[in-house]
Amino acid sequence: MKKNLQWKLALIVVVIGLCLFLVYPPKDKIKLGLDLKGGTHLVLQVLTEDAINVETDQQLARFEEVFKKNNITFLEANKEKPGRFYFRGIPVEQEGKVRDLIDQYTRDWDYSFSGDRLIFNLKLVAAQYLRDLAVTQTLETIRNRIDQFGVAEPVIQRQGSDRIVVELPGVEDPDRVKNLIKVTAVLEFKLVKAGPAPDEETLLRDFGGKVPEDAEVVRSDPKRGTQGYYLVSKVATVTGKDLRSVRRGVDEWNNPAVHFTLNPDGAKRFEQVTGANIGKQLAIILDGRLQSAPVIEARISDSGIIQGRFTPEEADDLVVILKAGALPAGIKYLEERTVGPSLGSDSVKQGLIAGLVAIFAVMVFMIFYYRFAGLNAIIALILNEIIIFGAIGYFKATLTLPGIAGIILGIGMAVDANVLIFERIKEEIAVGKNIASSIATGFSRAFSAIFDSNLTTIISAVFLFQFGTGPIKGYAVTLICSLVANLFTAVFVSRFIFDAFVPTNAKRLSI
Amino acid sequence: MQIFKKTPNIQFLKYKWIALALTVLIVVAGLVNILAGKGLKLGVDFGEGTLIRVKFKEPVSVSEVRKLLSEVGLGDSIIQEAGKESREFQIRTMEKRTTTQDQEIESHQILADRVIQALQGDEDRQKLTQGMLDLNSLDRNSLTNLLRAVAPDEAESLANKIIDYRTENGIITSWEELKKEPINLTQERISYLQSRAFLGKMTVLSRETVGPQVGKDLRKKATQAIIWSLIGMLVYIALRFKGVEYGAAAIFTLAQDVLITMSIYSFTQREINLPIIAGLLTIVGYSINDTIVIFDRIRELQRTMRRESLENIMNLSLNLNLSRTLITSGTVFLTVLSLYIFGGQVINDFAFLMLIGTIEGVYSTIFLSCPVVLFWNQYFKKKKLHK
């Protein structure tokens, strides 16, 4: 073998070996997209306005307290909208003291006196920070929940200012996970003042038809079987924030339930309230819906049971969300795609069959039409595929249906490159040149066409990658990989095969 | 082997007016259909409704499905049969634009839930509310928990077997299937399962909803991506072939590739989704490849045959490359045809589009790319020629 053929062979073996290494074993190295594997793709928006709203409520309550403590009188305190609240009727002579107090307590709010009102406005920077924090916290909470639930290889990413993308491969019960992500999970224990009643009117009969100032009405969760309205105290005895640990267990009738323990602070309050209200009911409320209202039978200090006719799955999910904590803001689903595992595996199977039939048909045609040279093209094509999958493995790209389309375009262009070269060689032979120089001219003449067409397509694919989303990006990646591979296999490898197997003084060429 | 014994000598450029007329005819017909007729159907990807794929236990007909949906006021949904046994269906609910922007995805989901409930039927829903579990939608863990009672040691492996079997077949149609290979449940275990679970009438294979906000984003980004990649190609070709006319001709060819393909596509019932955009780009890719190969030949012949008129050089280039054009397009056509036949429901629209595109790409390369260069030279470079 000639010297320059030896290093060419070495290069080819190294490249192919490397790609085989990168793709082996394919089950682990090639990640299938959700459209092929089955799974759920969710895009959700964090309602960051919620975080602003909570902050406004908290600040309003805080300043009410501060003003009262410092003997500052006012007629009315009110929230105008999220990020804006006011106090009305603060005496003029107290203004100076008020200014000092505000400066002492907050830097995030702008304030101004206008007429008889003291108006607070949340600073833009502070609002931006709160929104950002809400998204980060939501993302963390969702990640915690999904981790606790146990999904293999979830992708949870922030997208833009207030969106989160969640990808859950291979989930069999997507609705359950969707609900698990979406619940706000605010847990509250509140004393029951009255109830249950079939409707609000009956419930409030003893209170003159009006909800007392220190109470509120909650409905029982329809999922828990019983329907009814309860009047409960406005202030929660303990909340989800006071939980120290939760675990799945059973209640005294062996039904699934959730056991919890409280941190010292919460336990102190719990002990006090339960001790003083033996015989009364304590409502357990999740996201504003009453789960159960057991009767307090004894003073309870730091542990208890949440029961509520849960199914085992519901009890498990409750443990997950209580452990992961509440969402700082509500979320809204913007996009939802769920592909069941059987449809995904169907797609893979059918895509594989179609791909194999296609490659087989192309191979048969190439051998039939080009004989020895056709075999050469097939080897180039197979190596091309190995390089593509090696690259996909290396870049950790996911293979999707549009990605397969990209590979098909790549196969087409790989075959085309060989066809161009072979037709050119035929032309040269037809003119009467000898075999060796026909091969040389054929390759060099065809090269500019192959180079230009591949590069043009690569350029367009790069733009698609840059500006495209999801499927279009997947398409661009496989296309770029296969075109680069193409320049190597169709030009370099094919040429090597001709040079290695066709003697320089050959009289005939099987093409 | 050769397609042509001798280099053919077909005067392709003679037919340029006929070709142009044919193109205009198709494009106008398509545009009329798109703008005034049925129009292009935007798919779920672009924020239009919900797509649900379901598989039934027993074969049913489209009209039965429609009847079930009519009962909940969704009789106007698009219902298509997929697969061969009349058991798989694809349902597109059309959203009624009465809700505000904010609630739309929620309303999509409510619609989808209603569709699924309606298809489930009263019997299944009743069983669910009684606390029975649907074996055709149960997840692995829950099934394992359920089986622990009768098979504490094998619960997990049995659950895996059952779920894998269900994944393979889409749906479990009868209890008999669970007795047979590969699951081999004993009668005792089946009786237990029957007491706690039932075989749902249908299962949801996939479900896709895209809200209007994301739909709008996707539309914008897809358009942007296409426009920029076309500009990129134009610039590269103009530079490489040292003439704006070649770039312009390539872009003109591509524009009409897209227009013709979309025109023909608009006469079918198929929808436009992101994979279809990928398909369009693939067509554009092939077509540009074809066009460049011809231009490359022209560039080469212009160097060796300086005396010959451009029109003759073009004809010669087209003829010299004819067998290559046919072979390449033929192999691509074979590939796409196999995708169309064997590729399954999900990839079918894509393959169909590609079938139109491959044929159309050959036509546009042969009959349309060169005339544009000719026209350009005639109208914009007259001064140069007279020098």
For chain A, domain boundaries: 3-37+344-501, 49-127, 187-304
**B278 at the A interface (CB within 8 A)?**
yes
Decide if A313 and B170 are in contact by the 8 Å CB cutoff. Answer: no
- Tell me the CA distances in angstroms from A151 to A155, A248, A311, A397, one per residue in order: 10, 19, 20, 20
**Nearest-Cα residue of chain A relative to residue B215:** A335
Closest CA to A410 of A378, A360, A463, A458: A458
Question: Which residues 20-59 in chain B show a CB within 8 A of chain A?
Answer: 53, 55
pLDDT value, residue A18: 92
Closest CA to A345 of B340, B164, B139, B57: B164
When CB atoms are compared, the residue of B207, B228, B335 closest to A412 is: B335
Task: Say yes or no for a CB contact (<8 Å) between A467 and B207.
Answer: no
Token pair in block for residue A150? 């146990």
Strand partners, A157: A165
Contact present, A351 and A401 (Cβ < 8 Å): yes
Distance between CA atoms of residues B207 and A340, nearest Å: 8
Q: Is B341 on the interface with A (CB under 8 A)?
A: yes
E strand map for A155-242: 155-159, 163-169, 187-197, 215-220, 229-233, 238-239
Q: Token pair 């192919």 is at which residue?
A: A16
Q: What does the pLDDT read at residue A425?
A: 92
pLDDT of residue B98: 47
Nearest CA in chain B to A41: B208
Give B-chain residues touching A405 at CB under 8 angstroms. Answer: 275, 278-279, 282, 350
Adjacent-strand bridge partners of B45: none
CB A453 to CB B203 under 8 A? no
Whose structure tokens read 């074979």? B334
Distance CA A165, CA A303 (A): 37
| A379 compared with B214, residue with greater pLDDT | A379
Contact A14, A508 (CB under 8 A): no
Helix (H) or strand (E) holding B133: strand B133-134
CA of B286 to nearest chain A CA: how many angstroms apart? 7
DSSP category for residue A281: B
What percent of chain A lies above the pLDDT cut of 90? 12
- Which CATH number among 3.40.50.2000, 1.20.1640.10, 1.20.1250.20, 3.40.50.300 corresponds to the domain A3-37+344-501? 1.20.1640.10
- DSSP output for A438-489: HHHHHHHHHHHHHHHHHHHHHHHHHHHHHH--HHHHHHHHHHHHHHHHHIII
- Residue A248: which residues within 8 A CB-CB, separation 6 or more? A256, A258, A259, A315, A316, A319
How many CA atoms lie within 13 Å of B215's alpha carbon, on the beta-carbon side? 23
Q: Is the peptide bond before A25 cis (omega within 30 degrees of 0)?
A: yes
Facing residue for A467 by CB, picked from B106, B168, B225: B225
Hey, is the C-beta of A358 within 8 angstroms of any chain B C-beta?
Answer: yes
Nearest CB among A43, A172, A346 relative to B163 is that of: A172
Which option is the CATH number for A49-127: 3.30.420, 3.30.1240, 2.40.30, 3.30.70? 3.30.1240
Size of interface A-B (CB pairs under 8 A): 255
The answer to whether B183 touches B152, Cβ cutoff 8 Å, is no
Q: Does B106 touch chain A (CB under 8 A)?
A: yes
Question: In a mutagenesis test of the A interface, which of B84, B113, B141 is the best target, namely the one with the most A β-carbons within 10 Å?
Answer: B141
- Shortest CB distance from B328 goes to which of A312, A341, A416? A416
Interchain proximity B286–A347, CB inside 8 Å: no
CB contact under 8 A, A452 and B292: yes
Distance of CA A237 to the CA centre of its chain: 35
* Per-residue confidence (pLDDT) for residue B387, from 0 to 100: 38
Question: Domains of chain B, with CATH numbers?
Answer: 12-43+211-382 (1.20.1640.10), 44-129 (3.30.70), 133-202 (no CATH)
CA angle A250, A173, A321 (to 5 degrees): 50
- Alpha carbons B106 and B211: distance in angstroms, whole number: 9
Is A160 in the B-facing interface, judged by CB distances under 8 Å?
A: no
Residue of B nearest to A357 (CA): B338
Contact A189, A284 (CB under 8 A): yes
> How far away is chain B from the Cα of A136, in angstroms, using its nearest Cα?
21
- Cα-based angle A304, A309, A314 (whole degrees, multiple of 5): 85
What digits encode the pLDDT tens for the residues A90-136? 888 888 888 888 888 888 888 888 888 889 999 999 899 989 988 99
- Distance to chain B for A295, nearest Cα, Å: 27
Q: CB-CB: which of A176, A404, A415 is closest to B328?
A: A415
- The CA distance from A424 to B320, in Å, is 9
Q: Which CATH class is domain A187-304?
A: alpha beta
Which positions in chain B touch A409 (Cβ < 8 Å)? 282, 285-286
Could you tell me if B111 lies within 8 Å of chain A, comparing CB atoms? no
- Interface contact A412-B277, CB threshold 8 A: no
In angstroms, the CA B16 to CA B24 distance is 12
CB contact under 8 A, B327 and A369: yes
Question: Does A254 have pLDDT greater than 90?
Answer: no
Distance from CA of A419 to the nearest CA of B (A): 6
Contact A396, A422 (CB under 8 A): no
* DSSP letter assigned to residue B365: I
CA A129/CA A124 separation, integer angstroms: 9
Query: Are B335 and A464 an interchain contact pair (Cβ–Cβ within 8 Å)?
Result: no
Candidate from A313, A361, A423 with C-beta closest to B323? A423
Taking CA atoms, A298 is separated from A251, A270, A279, A290, in Å, by 17, 11, 8, 21
User: Quick check: B210 and B271 in contact, CB under 8 A?
Assistant: no
B332: contact with A, CB 8 A cutoff = yes
Contact yes or no for A281/A192 (Cβ under 8 A): yes
What is the torsion angle, in degrees rounded to the nearest 10, for the CA atoms of residue B187, residue B193, residue B194 and residue B196? 150
Q: Give CA–CA dist B11/A348, Å, rounded.
A: 46
**Is the CB of B229 less than 8 angstroms away from the CB of A338?**
no
- The CA-CA-CA angle for residues B125, B131, B134, to 5°, reads 60
Mean pLDDT of A377-401: 88
By the CB < 8 Å criterion, does A334 face chain B? yes
Which of chain A's residues have a Cβ under 8 Å away from the Cβ of B285?
A: 409, 413, 457, 460, 479
Residue-by-residue pLDDT tens, chain B, 387 positions: 677 777 788 888 888 888 888 888 988 988 888 888 777 778 888 766 788 888 888 888 888 888 888 888 787 788 888 776 788 888 888 655 544 444 555 666 777 778 888 888 888 888 887 778 888 888 787 888 888 888 888 888 888 888 888 888 888 888 888 888 777 888 888 888 888 888 888 888 888 888 777 888 888 888 888 888 888 888 888 888 887 888 888 888 888 888 888 888 888 878 888 878 878 877 887 788 888 888 888 988 988 888 888 888 999 999 988 888 888 888 888 888 888 888 777 678 888 998 998 888 888 888 888 888 888 888 876 555 443
Asked if this assembly's ipTM is beyond 0.90, the reply is no
> Nearest by CB to B335, which of A350, A408, A448?
A408
Q: Which of B1, B109, B278 sits opposite A475 (nearest CB)?
A: B278
Which 3 state secondary structure label does DSSP give A493?
A: helix
* Interface residue of B165, B205, B253, B284 to substitute, partner A, most A CBs within 10 Å: B205
Cβ separation B207–A456 shorter than 8 A: no
The residues in B 160-179 lying below 8 A from A, measured between CB atoms, are 163, 166-171
What's the mean pLDDT in A289-309? 83
At residue A341, the pLDDT reads 77
For residues B225 and A463, the answer to whether their CB atoms sit within 8 Å is yes
Q: Of B84, B93, B85, B87, whose CA–CA distance to B52 is shortest?
A: B93
Q: Which of B233, B328, B350 to mutate to test the interface with A (most CBs of A within 10 A)?
A: B328
Residues 6+ apart with CB under 8 A from B355: B333, B336, B337, B340
Instruction: State how far the Cα of A332 lies from the Cα of A318, in Å rounded to an integer.
Output: 20
CA distance A301 to chain B (A): 33
Are A448 and B285 inside 8 Å of each other by CB?
no
Query: Beta B41-42 vs B271-272: how paired, if at all?
Result: parallel
Average pLDDT over residues A336-344: 81
Residue B8 is predicted with a pLDDT of: 81
Q: Do B328 and A453 touch (CB under 8 A)?
A: no
